[in-house]
Amino acid sequence: MTSDSLSNKPQSQSGGKPLVTFQSRSLRGLVSVNIATLFFGLAGVLGKLSGLPAPVITLGRVVFSGIALGIIVALTHVTLRPRSRQDLVLLVTQGIILAIHWTAFFQSIVVSSVAIGLLSFSSFPLFTAALEPRLLGQRPRRIEIVAALLILPGVYLLAPHISLASRATQGVLWGLLAGATFALLSVVNRGLARRYPALTIGLYQDSVAALALLPTLLLTTLSVALTARSLLILLVLGVVCTALAHTLFIAGLKDVRAQIASLIAALEPVWGIGFATLLLGEIPSGLTLLGGALILLSSALPGLAALRGEPAHARKGRSLHNWRNRPS
């Protein structure tokens, strides 16, 4: 037997196996991330379909999501004990911010439309660029600063006639609050993710958010609004669009390049607008679509630039920090 035959035999028997395995894992990762993004996009539509006030929608979401995460934590024996009192305070504070974030997000959709809510929320890179240097000491890249500034005209196009009496303006303002609180959550969670599993952070934040929102029930008349239909919507919102979606996204990050995952996640408003058109009959105006296109393009710029020049290990690390504890 020649040396050629010795070298060729393993290639034919096992040489193709790693390639097939890699391709199947990459495909599985892409499917997981895309399905998760689809569920993320559906969340806002379900919130509006429920017909409930924004605080109650958020309360239902965190309660059902927290129950689902609690079951997973119990089955996997993930530790829940904070390492320090400072971390406990941070986890509790993040839970309160999460309650504000999701309430603002759903309020934006309730007072305006799914498109305006999702697109104005997508302005969060603008706030992230401002917060990272102050909280993490990380200097944003030039492309990130440019992308953040390009978001501003896109936001303006969502509500070109600025008036507090305008529902579009109200929706944009609530959406900007959702984007700002999302940026704060993401930046702080990036530090927490170095010390705690995503399940621990998620369960703490969902539980605290639920406790923070409980008093809103005293201010809301639910005798008519809270029906079996609305409860079912909240169940799907919490379990499928939150707990399952985050699990799928995190699982997909193991096999998908970081910036590709981020670019796929940027399609959340596209899915949301599509579902809103089909289920709610909401058709965005031309200016809304133009502003949304500018916001989404600006959000995608850093990811596209990173795909061209950033090393693979850096891409993965950056994405894991950005998305492992994604609150929305």
**Alpha-carbon gap, residue 106 to 169, rounded angstroms:** 15
Cα distance between residue 259 and residue 304, in whole Å: 7
Phi, psi of 223 (to 5 degrees): -60, -35
Give a yes or no: residue 17 inside a domain: no
Name the residue range of residue 63's domain: 32-323
CB-based contacts of 85, cutoff 8 Å, min separation 6: none
Read off the pLDDT of residues 149-167 as tens digits, 9 standing for 90 and up: 888 888 888 888 878 888 9
Asked if residues 113 and 221 have their Cβ atoms less than 8 Å apart, the reply is no
Is residue 279 domain-resident?
A: yes
Is 107 domain-assigned?
A: yes
Q: Is the pLDDT of residue 10 over 70?
A: no
pLDDT given for residue 300 in this prediction: 79
> Could you read off the pLDDT of 180-237 as tens digits, one per residue?
999 899 888 888 888 888 889 999 999 999 999 998 887 776 655 678 899 999 999 9
Q: Is the dihedral of CA 259, 263, 268, 271 positive or negative?
A: negative
**Span 71-97, average pLDDT:** 92
Q: Which of 78-92, 141-155, 230-244 has the least mean pLDDT?
A: 141-155
Residue 314's pLDDT band, with cuts at 50, 70 and 90, is very low
CA distances from 214 to 39, 58, 108, 150, 236 (A): 26, 10, 21, 39, 20
Tokens found for residue 294:
């500018």
Task: Report yes or no on 258 lying in a domain.
Answer: yes
Residue 19 lies in a domain: no
Q: What percent of the chain shows pLDDT beyond 70?
A: 83
If we measure between CA atoms, which residue out of 126, 114, 115 comes closest to residue 299? 126
Q: What is the mean pLDDT of residues 127-131?
A: 82
Query: Does a structural domain hold residue 23?
Result: no
Total tally of structural domains belonging to the chain: 1
Q: Which of 74-88, 130-144, 291-305 has the lowest mean pLDDT?
A: 130-144
In a domain, 166, yes or no: yes
Burial class (CB in 10 A: 0-12, 13-18, 19+), 289: middle
Q: Is residue 254 part of a domain?
A: yes
Evaluate whether 100 touches 210 at the Cβ level (below 8 Å).
no
